[in-house]
Structure formats: C-alpha cells, structure tokens
Amino acid sequence: MAKYKIGWMPGDGVGVEVMEAAKIVLDAIGLDAEYRHLDIGWEFWCKEGDALPDRTVEGLKEVDAALFGAITSKPKEEAQAELAPELQGKGLSYRSPIVRMRQLFDLYTNLRPCKAYAGNPLNYRDGIDLVVFRENTEGLYGGVEYHPVEGEIHQSLSLHPNFKRFASVPADQIAITARIITWEGASRIVRSAFDYAKKHGYPHVTVVEKPNVLRETSGLFMRAAREVAKDYPGIEMWDANIDAMAMWLIKNPENYGVIVTSNLFGDVVSDLCAQLVGGLGFAAAGNIGKDVAVFEPTHGSAPKYEGQYKVNPIACILASKLMLDFLGETDAASRVDAAVAKVLQEGQVRTYDMGGTHTTLEMGQAVADALGAVTV
C-alpha cells in the first residue's frame, strides 16, 4: 500500500499539461503515492451543472493532499449559456470550484512563496524572497452577495446613514458583496504567518490592510494581528495600507519577507509579488487546512495555448514542492527546489515566456534530470 493518497485534479486547458510535467518530477523524486483522479472543471459544469461534483468532494475527504492544475471560469451569463440544453433554466449557478473547496474544507491558509531564482531572465530584481499569507475563506470572497437588492436586505441597509444615497437606486440596478472578517479568521491566518516567519528565520511580518477607510473590517483584522504579534516577541510586526504596499513592493521588494492579509488584498498582492519573480509561470500556492490541503499553480487554464504544450510548468512543479513540504517530505521538497534552481541558473532549457522554445514536458524532464545532480 502506498504511503500517501494524492488527489489528482488536472482541471481544464493547460492545467492538464503542467500536471503531466509535475508528475514527471514526482515520479523522479520517488514519492510513494497512489494518485487518485478527481473530476473538476468546465466540462463537468457544462454537462452536469457542477464544476465540483459531489464525488470529487467525497474523494478529497479520502486523500492526504491534492494537486490541482487550472480551472476555466466565466461570467454568469456565459456560464449559463454553455450549460447542456437539458440543464438550461433549472436555476443552476456557476461558482468557482477552487473557492468552494477552500470553504468546504476550511482551507484557510493560502500560502504563496515568491522567490527570484538566480538566472531567471524574467526577474524584476534578483534577491527577492517574499511569502504571502492570504486568508482564504472570508472577506469579499465569502460568497455573501445580493442582486437584486430588495426586501429585508434593502430595509436593513437603509438603516445605515451612508446608504441613503443608494436608497433610491432600483433593486435590479444595484449589487452588493459583503466583506466579512472574523476575529478567528484574522487571528489564525496571522498566526500562520508568524509561525512561518519563526520557523524560517524571517525578522518581521508585514500586515497589509486598509483600516483608514475600511474601518470596521480592516480595523478588526489589524486589532487581531496586534494581539497575535504579542506571542512572537522576537519577530517585529510591520503594517501597511494595501495601496502603499503595492508601491513599496515595486520600489523596495527586498525590504519585505512574510506578508499577511485578507482574501481579496491577498489575491492582488500575491500576483504582484509573482510578477516580481517572473510571472504566473513561477507562482505556486498551497490552500491549507487542518485535515487536507490543495496545491496549485496560480495561473488560469489559458485556452488559447491548450494542446500546444508550450506553457511554463515551473509553477506546478513548485506547487508539488509545497505539497511535499506539507506531507513532511522535506528532503524531497528541498531537492525539487534545488533542481528548479539548477535548471534556471544554467538556462539551457527555457519555455516561451523566458524566450526559449522548449515544451512544457521538456522543462519537466529537465527538472527531473537535475534531481540527480543536486544535494541538499
């Protein structure tokens, strides 16, 4: 019997291709695992009305971790139009499978390391080593939305003095998304960031919010962060407004290490950090909860490149590295990281985004081949 059960969720488009490359590396590292294919993606929305079928949810309950490729998501009207004819008009509503997984399994930590590997021609600046902790289940992605805004919801909002200027807007011409921040949600993501900083030797953690405008939600997040920081006297807590942080990350990215913030802000700032170290072809994420975790490259399904095997699989390979760390296979994880670093430093194999002509699978094979030449 294999030591680990791994959920295998290629998803859509180039997700299938980068997962193939990651599997080459996982096989080369010798991970003792049983890979269980789990259905997810646009195909299942179109023909079943559910991009995350119940069988996949049940399957995730039986694995130690999962690797996820990419997903196609489209706006409400387009999603409805692509449903199978027999599913049209049945009140089905598309919702991102990855967001649903985060909430169903309370995958509250979104961990996104962004490191500038030497030799990467796409680095904004060498020496960047950033790790973003994004709260993964609350905030503006909590799924509490209203359209049209009428009835009791409208009546309740009308009690707030700042809603007066919206009170006469027709119900079908206004939409509202609730930004929900809880003390527990804020505290545990900040604690995850401080624990990581302590384990890996970072001297400070930067909490990024906007409490001068979002006084209640960001204000609560910041108060919770300050309470958590008291438990880590050896690590300094910095704070920054999200807009200023975007500026400082471009000006002085080397000044920062561990960053922690809420859901939407984390989504934005982590992509900014990814671009500093080469773009989404190098951006991996771990969606981590208490019982299971789902690891992914953060890029989309890139339909225009589907079937061409040209996209960079490094992000998915680094997602595999994060999965190995989560499973406790730290030596294997370090070897994968070192192999990626070696391939990038040598510059002999490069995909199109780095100005090369090598394929997705050739890059995966290059990393696998480099495993035998690295020591950790």
> What is the pLDDT confidence band of residue 186, given thresholds at 50, 70 and 90?
very high
Cα→Cα distances 56→37, 41, 51, 286, 324, Å: 9, 11, 10, 19, 22
pLDDT on residue 76: 82
CATH dotted code for 129-139+180-276: 3.40.50.2300
Q: Is a pLDDT exceeding 90 seen at residue 77?
A: no
pLDDT of residue 373: 86
Q: Are 336 and 344 in contact (CB under 8 A)?
A: no
Q: Where does the pLDDT of residue 74 fall: very low under 50, low under 70, confident under 90, or very high at 90 and above?
A: confident
Matching CATH topology for 1-108+286-376 and 129-139+180-276?
no
The phi and psi torsions of 332 (rounded to 5 degrees) equal -65, -40
For residues 299 and 271, the answer to whether their CB atoms sit within 8 Å is: no
Q: HSE of 211 in the Cβ direction (CA atoms, 13 Å)?
A: 14
Of 9-23, 75-89, 170-184, 331-345, the poorest mean pLDDT is in: 75-89
Give me the half-sphere count of Cα atoms (radius 13 Å) on the Cβ side of residue 369.
10
pLDDT at position 47 is 96
Name the residue ranges covered by the structural domains of the chain: 1-108+286-376, 129-139+180-276, 144-177
φ and ψ of 229, to 5 deg: -60, -25
DSSP symbol at 81? H
Query: Rounded to two decimals, what is the model's pTM?
Result: 0.93
pLDDT in tens, 15-64: 999 999 999 999 999 999 999 999 999 999 999 999 999 999 999 999 99
pLDDT of 376 higher than 80:
no
109-156 pLDDT, tens digit per residue, is 999 999 999 999 999 999 999 999 999 999 999 989 999 999 999 999
- pLDDT above 70 as % of the chain: 100
The pLDDT of residue 5: 97
Kindly report the CATH class assigned to 1-108+286-376.
alpha beta
Q: Residue for token digits 């299942």?
A: 44
**pLDDT tens per residue, range 263-321:** 999 999 999 999 999 999 999 999 999 889 999 999 999 999 999 999 999 999 999 99
Q: Are strands 145-146 and 4-11 parallel, antiparallel or unpaired?
A: unpaired
Question: In whole numbers, what is the pLDDT of the chain averaged over residues?
Answer: 96
